[in-house]
């Protein structure tokens, strides 16, 4: 029997889309068929697999059903395609720079592309640039454009000196895995947080796509490539990442199977998910205590005023006598 599929998918309809699948930008139903919120849906999760780890994150408290599996997609580099390998090897001792803004950015404005290309043209390194727009007029002989790049394999190549990236989590972790310094150009979402963390650890330089100039990009690349501290810090992060008793992917598989074996992991799930928002913030307790304080204050005030009136009447009576 062919199952029907409800898919929460706000993007372009896939070409291989099946007749048994319906796309929705939002599916506001739970297993009881009642409207629910995103917080309620997320609160039902038995186990959270977090895409980062302590080589990347700053220390902070964590819940028992949170498992950090950052870099689970990373793997050793495979040989590059022949044409790309020849281009990379032609860089000699200067090495290569990998530049990609991910799959979400299809092309840049002509002005921005020419600005970036002119900066890259001044590098002694060869540049592998994932770019699908119109060829920039200022493109240098040292730069090769590709519509698709085996990113992990290029980052793992011994000739790679720096990685210009939009700072997506996958790309950042591949850079950490292979120990490559980063020049980050965050665009949206968690990318600003990602580059801030790597920059704080001394393995990255951050730029702003809207305000950066050709000289800004060139100086950032020269710093990341020529200043040995960036490479040293990147390798330090890489050593920390690799020094784990269990690989992130194996850890993720274990916890998924753990939840399946035990039909959930409710003993790890915090009770906070079952509380209302006012209970979670203890507003009901605070309200009760404030009511008690107000009642006591009211009673004490009334008693004080009553005593004052009584004493005043007694004093006036004695004075008349």
Higher pLDDT, 171 or 4: 171
Given a cut of 80, is residue 150 above it in pLDDT?
yes
Tell me which residue of 168, 240, 166, 170 sits closest to 202, measured CA to CA: 240
Tell me which residue of 233, 228, 182 sits closest to 205, measured CA to CA: 182
Given a cut of 70, is residue 180 above it in pLDDT?
yes
What confidence tens digit (pLDDT) does each residue in 280-302 have? 889 999 999 999 999 999 999 98
Task: Give the model's pLDDT for residue 1.
Answer: 44
Task: Give the model's pLDDT for residue 32.
Answer: 46
pLDDT above 70 covers a percentage of the chain that reads: 84
In this prediction, residues 95-120 reach a mean pLDDT of: 87
In this prediction, residues 242-252 reach a mean pLDDT of: 93
- Residue 242: band (very low, low, confident or very high) from pLDDT cuts 50, 70, 90: very high
> Among 32-36, 55-59, 120-124, whose mean pLDDT is lowest?
32-36
Given a cut of 60, is residue 58 above it in pLDDT?
yes
Q: What are the DSSP calls for 256-305, one per residue? A: HHHHHHTT--TTTS-GGGGS-HHHHTTHHHHHHHHHHHHHHHHHHHHHHH
What confidence tens digit (pLDDT) does each residue in 23-47 have? 665 555 555 456 667 777 777 888 8
- Residue 22: band (very low, low, confident or very high) from pLDDT cuts 50, 70, 90: low
Q: Round to whole Å and give the CA distance between 32 and 290.
A: 38
Both tokens assigned to 202: 């001394």
Delimit the domains of the chain by residue range.
1-44, 47-72+247-265, 82-238
* Centroid of chain to Cα 176: 14
Task: Give the model's pLDDT for residue 164.
Answer: 95
Q: Round to whole Å and give the CA distance between 6 and 24.
A: 7
- Residue 108: band (very low, low, confident or very high) from pLDDT cuts 50, 70, 90: confident
CATH of 82-238, one of 3.40.50.360, 3.40.50.2000, 3.40.50.800, 3.40.50.2300: 3.40.50.2000
Element (H, E) at 99: strand 96-100
CA torsion, points 54, 220, 127, 214, in degrees to nearest 10? Answer: 140
């Amino acid at each position: 029997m062919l199952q029907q599929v409800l898919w929460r998918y706000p993007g372009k309809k896939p070409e291989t889309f099946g007749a048994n699948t319906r796309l929705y930008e939002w599916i506001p139903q739970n297993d009881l068929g009642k409207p629910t919120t995103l917080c309620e849906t997320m609160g039902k999760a038995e186990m959270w697999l977090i895409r980062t780890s302590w080589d990347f994150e700053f220390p902070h408290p964590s819940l028992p059903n949170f498992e950090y599996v950052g870099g689970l997609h990373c793997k050793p580099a495979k040989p590059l395609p022949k044409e790309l390998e020849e281009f990379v090897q032609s860089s000699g001792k200067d090495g290569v720079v990998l530049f990609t803004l991910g799959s979400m950015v299809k092309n840049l404005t002509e002005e921005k592309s020419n600005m970036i290309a002119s900066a890259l043209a001044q590098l002694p390194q060869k540049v592998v640039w994932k770019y699908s727009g119109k060829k920039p007029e200022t493109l240098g002989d040292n730069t090769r454009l590709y519509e698709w790049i085996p990113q992990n394999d290029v980052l793992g190549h011994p000739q790679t000196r720096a990685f210009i990236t939009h700072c997506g989590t996958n790309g950042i972790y591949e850079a950490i895995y292979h120990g490559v310094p980063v020049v980050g150009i965050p665009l949206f979402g968690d990318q600003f947080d990602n580059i801030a963390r790597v920059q704080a650890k001394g393995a990255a330089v951050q730029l702003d796509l809207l305000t950066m100039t050709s000289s800004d990009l060139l100086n950032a690349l020269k710093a990341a490539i020529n200043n040995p501290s960036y490479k040293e810090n990147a390798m330090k992060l890489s050593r920390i990442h690799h020094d784990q008793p269990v690989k992130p992917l194996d850890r993720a598989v274990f916890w998924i199977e753990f939840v399946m074996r035990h039909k959930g992991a409710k003993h790890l799930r915090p009770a906070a998910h079952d509380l209302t928002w006012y209970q979670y913030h203890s507003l009901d307790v605070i309200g009760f205590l404030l009511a008690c304080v107000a009642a006591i204050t009211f009673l004490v005030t009334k008693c004080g005023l009553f005593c004052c009136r009584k004493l005043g009447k007694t004093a006036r009576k004695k004075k008349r006598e």
